[in-house]
Structure 1
Amino acid sequence: MIGSAMAVSDVTAGPDLDHVKTGRAAAAMRGTLWSMLSSFAPAAFGMVVFMASSRVLGPAEFGIVAFAASIATFGMAVAPAGFRDAIIQRATITHRHLDAVFWLCIVSALLVYGVIVAVAGPIAKSFGEPQLGLLIPFIGLRVIFDMVAAVPNGLLVRAMSFRKIAIRTGIASLVAAVGCLTLLWFGFGLWALAFSQLATSIVTCAGALIAARWRPGLNFDLKALRQLRAFGLFSTGNHFISTVSIDQLLIGVLLGPAGLGIYGFARRIFQILTDLITGALNLVSYSLLSSMQQELGKLREAYLFGTFASSIVAFPAFSGLALVAQDLIPFAFGPQWVDAVPVVQAFCALGLLTAVGVLQSSLIKSQGQADLWFYYLVAKQSMTVLYVFLFAGWGVSALTNALVIQNFVMWLPSVYMVVRILRLSPWAYLNSFALPVFATLVMIGVGWLVQTELTGAAPLVRLGVTVGTCALVYAATVLLLGRHKLLEIKATLRRR
């Protein structure tokens, strides 16, 4: 049983390596606020870069960079990043664990990067895109920097030092954005996008090493590594499945650069919005829930609070984007991306599940059940591969819609896992979504009526009026029907 590795009697952690045990609610609230800033900075800078580059580059060029990034991401996915999660989740750790994980990550990163360099040339030749031969090794350098930062990042999250993470992430995002925009200005095109990805990893790595104030020793303790092995390997499997862009790789092969460019464009918008909304809850929830492994009541309360908080923000954001995409996409990114509108709208439907899935993943893994989550992701990814082959011939829009339907079907087993861990009835869990769902439906209905009335108006006017009206209607509905719920949350936070 994986959880048994958390209680090894011969391991004694110093207080500086222990989980936060007191003032966790306050630490979580501060961490959420700092993580919101940490999520906002890359999302905001990323959107600026994305809007600028989308006006310079076309779908085919976006597709080339997306494909090169997918190869590099595949390399990062096979590296043992899951051992970082083992450091965060394990009840007690020592410096022996940290040193063993660090050297495991370094050696693995060097081996993986060697393979990336070796396959770059043949891949470029087989696809007839010479630039891939240089782009893949360039972006692939991220593997080394991300693995160097694995242990320092784990220590920062374990200690709930989200202020340091936010500052580091903000600086990295600024450096990447300035560098990318500068290169775009001087006409470097797709290399500007490649630079932004690598620069983010380099600055983030340096910031993690400085903020954690930890330096590796030369000791490599196999016994310490074996104590993390079970959870670390399953968590690495989870990381591989959730990180590797198998959908982009297959779409690039089956639909070519143009089809992948449209799909990658829509996926990028979806990812920016997802990071902005749920990024604040991701690391905070995993660290907080890991510290509550023996406290079922507090675990249940924290999880349901996070579910309500994420859905009440994510549901209107993704639904609103789908509603106004027809006007927003051409205005913000240029008319050449009109064909991407239905794909963006499909990803918005997927965003409703992603906001919830982040917390589900954190809960299941935090309770030592990385193996269970791994098997679930394997099944889900297998279905994704099947759907890509079945629906690729129908075009990128139909394929994306099929993948969204598949994700909704595969969401049901994760609900079962959550209610089993929390010992809740399914209806009690689903009830936490009732208010956000109803308020979002009201908002969509009013927004649709506004757009119908303004059919002949200028797109920018229709966009502004729709967004403003929807925001007011949603806020009014939540305050009117959810006042009691909001007061309960406020009282809970004050009491704790």
Structure 2
Amino acid sequence: MELRRRALFAMAWSAAEILLRFGSQLVVMAILARLLGPSDVGLMAMAMAFVALAVLAVDGGLGAALIQKTSIDDSDLDSVFWCALASGVCLGGIAWCVAPHIADFFEAPKVESLVRTLAMVLPVTGLAVVPDALLSRALRFSEKTKAEALASVGSGVVAVALALSGHGVDSLAWQVVLAALIRTAFLLGRVRWLPGIAIDVRRISRLARFGGFYMAASMLDAVATRLQSLLIGRLFTPALLGYYTIAQSTQQAPASVLVGVVNRVGLPVLSSVSASKDELRSGMRTGLRLSVLVFTPGMFLLALLSEPILGILFGPSWVSAANIMSLLAIGTALWPIHVLNAVAVQSLGGSRAMFVIEIAKQCLTIASIAVGVFWGPAGVAMGLLLANILCIPLSTFCSGKYLEFGLRKQSSEIGATLLTCVVTFAIGKGLMMLLPPGGLWLVAIVVAYWVVYVGLCSMTKNRALDDLWRMVRALRVAGQAKGA
């Protein structure tokens, strides 16, 4: 019961942290998009295509290994800290040296200075690996919420000031650097932990047995994501990449809430009950129903309103990205299936199996992107949509093998909800065609969309709706107990 209460609070704090972070980033991005042009955003995406991969390599999966491991000691923490810091310093130096070659690849000289500025993020990221893992193990997501809030707001204010003073795309690079510095400094101050000076190679090796596969799987996913920027930036113009990046970033904001909450809370909580497959299967079943109930209709709504959302947030000049954003949002609507199955496999310690599946999934995704690029940025988005559908049998394979909760059983749990989402989307599309655009009519469409959706769920006696009410009541009771 105590674990459940802590998990509910951790989930609430984690969701609040990610919402606050992406909400503040969205506000800053909206301001900067009006001050800068599509070409500036595209240039930044070119630089981040390589630096983001290096950020993942700094962690090396060791942070996730610390979270997943049943018990850890000072030797584990010290070894991971110095290993991550050394990786950050080395990778930062490599990024500095190869920056001219990256700029030559894109035929964009400005990318060189952007990569060299962003290289400073890598050693800073290394400093944060252990504090981040310690707070996640303790489910102290309120501290992470504060860190993200300070980082997002502080770096955002500086970035806007730099853009207003004429620094152009450099303001975006410094925003990333300052956010990393502020977040790391706060986390180091909150964990009350200082590293020793010893490194135990054997401890690193044991942690790497899990973390290495986790990092490789994450790297494959990141490669598929950054390949989109790489291909569009290389084959088309920075402006077209800018449109794609804004569409991708906007639809990723709600998607990242789901992924962040499930990864941060789901892994430590499911790992704690992984000895009982019945409990693990029950937790996964409830989590899948709830996440699809809330997340999937939200992404369909985002796809429905992509044009007015882009116009309101970023201005009329960005409306051209609406079709791309709609396709990306519909493809992302199925993420709960992929994310929850991956976390369940990780909690069982099946990182090797997850890695093999990720190889197959990412090969399919990369092939879809490579084919779609012939039709431009919209073709890439369509390729991702198809890949997300085709990868579902792969994502559910291990759950079927180890938990007897495979594709057929998962489909029976969420099939009614998915059908309700499609019907509600069709009704919303009809309202969009009948009613005039903008203003109060837009609000009316949003209200009608959710009324129809909840009404259909109630009429069909959707079990996920009952799960949601039970979770809300449990949070309220837990909050009252904590207050007392």
Q: TM-score, normalised by structure 2?
A: 0.92
Match of 2:202 among 223, 232, 238: 223
Check if 1:46 corresponds to 2:25: yes
CA root-mean-square deviation: 2.2
Higher mean alpha-carbon deviation, 104-113 vs 183-192, is at: 183-192
2:470 & 2:320 partners in 1: Cα distance? 48
Return 5+ residue gaps in structure 2 as ranges: 479-484
The alignment partner of 1:449 has SS state of helix
Equivalent residue, structure 2, for 1:36: 15
Check if 1:101 corresponds to 2:63: no
2:104 & 2:418 partners in 1: Cα distance? 49
AA aligned opposite 2:411: L
Equivalent residue, structure 2, for 1:360: 341
Equivalent residue, structure 2, for 1:140: 119
Higher mean alpha-carbon deviation, 308-317 vs 352-361, is at: 352-361
Equivalent residue, structure 2, for 1:165: 144
Equivalent residue, structure 2, for 1:419: 400
Change (3 A) 1:24 1:107: same
Tell me how far 1:229 sits from its aligned partner.
2.5
Q: TM-score, normalised by structure 1?
A: 0.90
Equivalent residue, structure 1, for 2:134: 155
Check if 1:285 corresponds to 2:236: no
1:356 & 1:333 partners in 2: Cα distance? 31
1:441 & 1:394 partners in 2: Cα distance? 26
The alignment partner of 1:188 has SS state of coil
AA aligned opposite 2:45: A
Equivalent residue, structure 1, for 2:101: 122
Return 5+ residue gaps in structure 1 as ranges: 1-21
Deviations 1:201-234 (A, max 9, x none): 1111112212222111001112222221311211
Equivalent residue, structure 1, for 2:481: none
Equivalent residue, structure 2, for 1:19: none
AA aligned opposite 1:83: L
Equivalent residue, structure 1, for 2:213: 234
Answer whether contact 1:102 1:150 (CA < 8 A) is retained.
yes
Equivalent residue, structure 2, for 1:13: none
Equivalent residue, structure 1, for 2:254: 273
Matched residues, number: 473
Check if 1:388 corresponds to 2:388: no
Check if 1:243 corresponds to 2:209: no
Equivalent residue, structure 2, for 1:258: 239
Equivalent residue, structure 1, for 2:454: 475
Tell me how far 1:453 sits from its aligned partner.
1.9
Answer whether contact 2:35 2:164 (CA < 8 A) is retained.
no
Deviations 1:8-40 (A, max 9, x none): xxxxxxxxxxxxxx7111011000110111011
Deviations 1:388-438 (A, max 9, x none): 333322211122202221221122111122222322253322222134223
Identity fraction in percent? 25
1:281 & 1:486 partners in 2: Cα distance? 19
1:425 & 1:88 partners in 2: Cα distance? 26
Check if 1:442 corresponds to 2:419: no
Equivalent residue, structure 1, for 2:282: 301
Answer whether contact 2:368 2:386 (CA < 8 A) is retained.
no
2:209 & 2:280 partners in 1: Cα distance? 24
Tell me how far 1:283 sits from its aligned partner.
0.4
Equivalent residue, structure 2, for 1:403: 384
1:110 & 1:386 partners in 2: Cα distance? 34
1:88 & 1:255 partners in 2: Cα distance? 41
Stretches of 4+ moved more than 6 A in 1?
none
